[in-house]
Structure 1
Amino acid sequence: MLHCLAVLSSPNTLSCPKLHETSNGTTVWTSYDKSSLLYNFNSPSELKQVQALLIKTSTPLSVLPLSRVASVCAFSSSFPHAQKIFHCVNKPEVTVWNGCLRSFAESSSPFDAILLFCQLRKYDVLPDSFTCSYVLKACVQLLDLLHGRNVHDYMEKLGFQSNLFLQNMIVHLYASCGKIGDAKLLFDKMHQRDVVTWNIMITQFAKRGDINAASQLFKQMPERSVRSWTAMAAGFVQCGKPKEAIELFMEMEGAGLRANQVTVVAVLAACADIGALDLGRRIHEYSNRSGYQRNVRICNTLIDMYIKCGCLEAARVVFENMDERTIVSWSAMIQGLAMHGQAMEALELFSKMVQTGTKPNGVTFIGLLHACSHMGLVEKGREFFVSMSRDYGIAPRIEHYGCMIDLLSRAGLLEEARQFIKNMPLKPNAVVWGALLGGCRVHNNIELAEEAIVHLNELDPHNDGYYVVLSNIYANAKKWENAAKVRKLMRDQGVKKTPGQSSITVAGLVHEFVACDESHPQVKEIYASWENLLQQLRLKGYVPNTSVVLLDIEEAEKEKILYHHSEKLALVFGIINTPPGETIRIMKNLRVCEDCHAAFKLISDVVNREIVVRDRNRFHCFKNGTCSCKDYW
């Protein structure tokens, strides 16, 4: 031991402890002295001073904190000195270095773990499986494929091929670094796999949008965990297949598995996408029973779900009851108020947010600009657009420019909107020109519409919506020949018009309707009920607005088409099949037409119901003969 302690002291740079001499002449130090000195050396030279004091006081070397010895010597020429210390105290040095590796891998500088691994190899320290796992963890965090491959090669030399934990980490590393082919190749070669192995591959395929590959693996799994189901559900949502996500969740429930917090977020997101309010409410109740009500991410997703299902007040309750709110919470609520025609409330909420010290982000301003656009608050919108960069240092993105074009175009300031596009520092995309085209439809400006469609034909030639808008502008101006040319252009380019479709959920079942639908089992009852309702509407002054039927046909035919629009059929079905007074919620994939909008206002008064319609652009909440949009849409 004395041989191991025989280290020359360097000039004193440490604050020396107060040593005490006993009656027999032995030098000792207090426990405070030990703690102060032993745990505060920060360099190899200071470590050697501590060793000198240990020799002087006949204190065993084992009192040294070996993890600190490792950390101060890891990247210096004193690395071999640390090795000698570990040898003297009979401590397997790889164990100490592993502790150091773990700390580095979990720190803000994980690359230090990789550097230390290189040191271990340089000084012939034989790594074990833990060594490799910590270095691989650092490689995953850094997406460092180069060093990850080196570790993988080293594992092969050490014979760790049968270590399932390490093999899973390698698969995860390759997939995370974008080498999904290499990950799949290793997966296929593995003699042993566990549920973690399968979950890694399913999750990574889903993240990359290859939902078919993920689904194929999911079906082949010998056993599944909650994480397996959750990864698939989240993948379906990400790939725009919310129905499949919900079906999978139902199957998971049938298998007797309980959803975790990540599952709840995925399923709520799916409910938001298709307006599955009943399931969303059930998941909310389950979340509360499971103690998840304090989970900020779940609360934020609940707000989004309720907003997109047309339950603004339910979203508000979740928001108000949150113990902690993030910028996502505030932005979601501001956006929700804007979508539901509550522009002034959205602006007031923004003021409250700023007062709490929460800094807005780009999404917040998209919500604010939407609020201004939906209610025609042009000056306020201009102020927000300037403020975001001037006051908060947020550079406007293409989405913000699109909001401004929409705001100006809706307000009839079409020439200003056109100049705004020309002066943009970013290249206008299809959304920007599409916003201008939408304004041209509202204000019947054929010349600007034709200019916009030239750009849209280049940027998004297969989007049927733009052609339909231009055709409708021509038809509204009675330029039937031009409208016919647009439809011919669509046929020549293979662009098909998306059929209008409306859906309503009753007793947990989704019922879908298209215009003049005759396929529904209750079609006769629906049509008969509509005729009865139509008589009451006429007494209220309803006159069909046949100008929205942009076809060169007889007025009687136009009226017949109007009466059987998909949203009207869905509404009558809802009136027949839900209790009196219950809110009716309808989802439509296209913009609600002017005639249906006028009819729904009257119907809400006639049947004394609140009717919520979510179309492609926003929500319309009809109640007592009025709409939340105040007819500005």
Structure 2
Amino acid sequence: MYVSCEDMEYGLKVFDNIPKWNVVAWTCLIAGYVNNNQPREALKVFKDMGNWGVEANEVTMVNALIACARSRDIDTGRWVHECVCKAGYDPFVCESDGNVILATAILEMYAKCGSLNIARELFNKMPKRNVVAWNCMINGYNQYERYNEALGLFFDMLADGFCPDKATFLSVLSVCAHQCALALGETVHAYLLKSNIATDIALATALLDMYAKNGELGSAQKIFSNSLEKKDVVMWTSMINGLAIHGHGNEALSMFQMMQEDSSLVPDHITYIGVLFACSHVGLVEEAQRQFNLMTKRYDIVPEREHYSCMVDLLSRAGHFREAEKLMETMPIQPNIAIWGALLNGCQIHENISVASQVKVRLTELEPIQSGIYVLLSNIYANAGKWEEVNRTRKLMKHNRIAKNIGHSTVEMKLLTL
């Protein structure tokens, strides 16, 4: 009772006072730590249980595997899987009826730890499958950006006669968002509407995010406005970032202002990537600086590289190169290629050959074969009439077999993949 009520300290005292620790007592304690989001403690107890000579049952194994999945502990997960097989509980043996719950726990452990090939092999061996097992694999592929495989499995699931549930739709809509697969996303939306599944805040946010990332801002705003449930920070952030990434900076900032009118909503680091990106693309230097300071002072958000990249992009776009360079010198993390690239982008706008030449050295050290660097440098030199430098840069691209690619800024890519 106590472990299910989040009072693990008292639950542990009760456990210590039990005269004889049987498998039920140990399993309750392990499950308590799992349910209270303390997976590493759960695994410690699982190992202690073995040291005390108590054999785990299938329920114990399921909880241990869930703990491995949540802590991304693949080594312990493999060991628990071995324990399952040694105890005679292997759910993937063709002759057995197969404990679907245990099988799914093993799949989820491998999938969440990134061992998707092993998970797929086991999935293919399952004597019985349920929707949870299908969802586990689809979500695993989605989380590790293997989107085509996620969609392929979704179509297989439908072909096998399984009906998608809420978790399925959440994963598939996420894939459609990241793949910019608008037509498929609209089809999935229509399928969802025909199902008996209620569109709660999570599904509404997934739909909004899919439409926003695909540039269908009208559909995204309609979903946002029609949502009957109280909007959480994730939904607001999806709308703000969608507006920002598609060039509607002022609308994004207005949306952020509306969000702040609700004192119960606290913006997070993802919200602020969108806010700073919006400021950058409408040239609001002072507002961006104000928001950057508020982010740390009011909300205790530690700036990440994407936030610094937005600020450097903003300052260099505005021609404030000294301020941008000072920020890069004083920031607590090393500037990566995205931040140097943001500075170089400002050099192109303002034809600043001096700063561009300094940036060139650092960029080629960081990522010497990144095509965007050379294309940007070539454009800067061409705009300034430095044809010898243009020719030298293009020869270098040809020598290194670097193809000219159409791309997005790293911050844009970050917003598209959130």
CA contact (8 A) 1:408 1:414 kept: yes
Match of 1:183 among 39, 57, 80: 80
The change in CA–CA distance for 1:444 and 1:293 in structure 2 (over 3 A counts) is farther
Residue 44 of structure 2 is matched in structure 1 by 146
Structure 1 residues 376-387: aligned runs within 5 Å: 376-387=283-294
Residue 576 of structure 1 is matched in structure 2 by none
The aligned amino acid for 2:249 is A
Displacement of 1:470: 2.4
Residue 364 of structure 1 is matched in structure 2 by 271
CA contact (8 A) 1:152 1:170 kept: no
Structure 2 SS opposite 1:191: coil
Residue 301 of structure 1 is matched in structure 2 by 206
Higher relative contact order (CA 8 A, sep 6+): 2
Displacement of 1:483: 4.3
Residue 311 of structure 1 is matched in structure 2 by 216
RMSD: 2.8
Paired residue total: 397
- Between the aligned partners of 1:126 and 1:344, the Cα distance in structure 2 is 63
The change in CA–CA distance for 1:181 and 1:164 in structure 2 (over 3 A counts) is closer
Displacement of 1:471: 3.7
Displacement of 1:498: 5.3
1:213 aligns with 2:126: no
Cα deviation digits, residues 489-523 of structure 1 (max 9, x gap): 5677xx653564xxxxxxxxxxxxxxxxxxxxxxx
Structure 2 SS opposite 1:106: helix
Residue 308 of structure 2 is matched in structure 1 by 401
The change in CA–CA distance for 1:302 and 1:498 in structure 2 (over 3 A counts) is farther
Structure 1 residues 452-463: aligned runs within 5 Å: 452-461=359-368, 463=370
The change in CA–CA distance for 1:499 and 1:206 in structure 2 (over 3 A counts) is farther
- Between the aligned partners of 2:104 and 2:164, the Cα distance in structure 1 is 16
Residue 590 of structure 1 is matched in structure 2 by 407
Match of 2:331 among 405, 415, 424: 424
Residue 162 of structure 2 is matched in structure 1 by 257
Decide which structure has greater strand share. 1
- Between the aligned partners of 1:196 and 1:295, the Cα distance in structure 2 is 26
The aligned amino acid for 2:361 is V
CA contact (8 A) 2:173 2:188 kept: yes
Cα deviation digits, residues 526-571 of structure 1 (max 9, x gap): xxxxxxxxxxxxxxxxxxxxxxxxxxxxxxxxxxxxxxxxxxxxxx
**What residue ranges of structure 1 are gaps of 5+ in the alignment?**
1-102, 501-588, 593-614, 620-633
Structure 1 residues 586-625: aligned runs within 5 Å: 590-591=407-408
The aligned amino acid for 1:419 is K
1:327 aligns with 2:233: yes
CA contact (8 A) 1:237 1:266 kept: yes
The change in CA–CA distance for 1:293 and 1:486 in structure 2 (over 3 A counts) is farther
Cα deviation digits, residues 102-129 of structure 1 (max 9, x gap): x122122324434432322xx3x352x4
Displacement of 1:266: 0.5
Displacement of 1:308: 0.9
The aligned amino acid for 1:364 is T
Q: TM-score, normalised by structure 1?
A: 0.58
**What residue ranges of structure 2 are gaps of 5+ in the alignment?**
92-98
Displacement of 1:425: 3.8
Residue 95 of structure 2 is matched in structure 1 by none
Displacement of 1:446: 2.6
CA contact (8 A) 1:171 1:186 kept: no
Displacement of 1:237: 1.4
Residue 31 of structure 2 is matched in structure 1 by 137
The change in CA–CA distance for 1:618 and 1:189 in structure 2 (over 3 A counts) is closer
Question: Percent of aligned pairs with the same residue?
Answer: 34
Q: TM-score, normalised by structure 2?
A: 0.85
CA contact (8 A) 1:430 1:460 kept: yes
Displacement of 1:286: 2.9
The change in CA–CA distance for 1:164 and 1:208 in structure 2 (over 3 A counts) is closer
CA contact (8 A) 1:293 1:299 kept: no
- Between the aligned partners of 1:247 and 1:443, the Cα distance in structure 2 is 47
1:164 aligns with 2:61: no
- Between the aligned partners of 2:371 and 2:179, the Cα distance in structure 1 is 22
Q: Which structure has the larger Rg over C-alpha atoms?
A: 1
- Greater displacement, 295-304 / 388-397: 388-397
Cα deviation digits, residues 178-220 of structure 1 (max 9, x gap): 1233133234435232222332222222222222222222222
1:350 aligns with 2:260: no
The change in CA–CA distance for 1:465 and 1:212 in structure 2 (over 3 A counts) is farther
The change in CA–CA distance for 1:139 and 1:149 in structure 2 (over 3 A counts) is farther
Displacement of 1:384: 1.9
Match of 2:136 among 231, 238, 241: 231
